Amino acid sequence: MSHLFLCRVYYEDTDLAGIVYYANYLKFIERARTEWVRGLGIDQARLKDETGIVFAVRRLEADYLAPARFDDELEVETAVARIGGARIVLDQSVRRAGADCFSARVTLAALTGSGAPARLPADLRERLAAGA
C-alpha cells in the first residue's frame, strides 16, 4: 500500500527555463511524507512532546528522470521499503501524467531532541507498517 499526494508546480518552483529547480523535488517529497504520517493519525508535534522523538533524513538517493514544468500537476507516491528499530526507509516518486520525473530512496532516523538515535515505540512501528 502506498500514499499519494498531489501538488502543483508554481512559478516559484521553477528556474529561468520554466522547469522545476532540482532542490524543489526534495520539498515535494517532504510534504508528501508529512501528509503520509498525518494520514496515519500520527501527530509529529505530539510525538515530540510525549516521547521526545523527531525524524530526520539520514540518507537520500535521488534520480532526476524527466523535467516537470510550471503549472504541471504532480503526484507524489510514498511507500515503505523497510522499518527498523530506529529507521524508516521509504521509496518516493514524483510523476506527471503517469510519467516518472523523480525518484528517491529516503532513510529517516528517529532521534531524541539532543540528536541521539531513538528506538521507535512498538505501537508507532505498527502504525507506520500499516501504512505500507
Q: What tens digit of pLDDT does each residue of 21-56 get? A: 999 999 999 999 999 999 999 999 999 999 999 999
Give residue 130's pLDDT: 82
Q: Which residue among 13, 15, 63, 100 is the active-site one?
A: 15
Burial 20-33 (b: 16+ CB within 10 A, else e): beeebbbebbeebb
Give residue 26's pLDDT: 98
Instruction: Please check whether residue 89 is in contact with residue 107, taking contact to mean a CB–CB distance below 8 angstroms.
Output: yes
pTM attached to this predicted model: 0.92
Segments forming the whole domain that contains residue 21: 3-130
Residue 49 annotated as catalytic = no
Per the structure, how many domains does the chain have?
1
pLDDT one-digit tens code per residue, 104-127? 999 999 999 889 999 998 989 988
Rounded CA Rg of the chain: 16
We report the CATH number of the domain holding residue 77 as 3.10.129.10
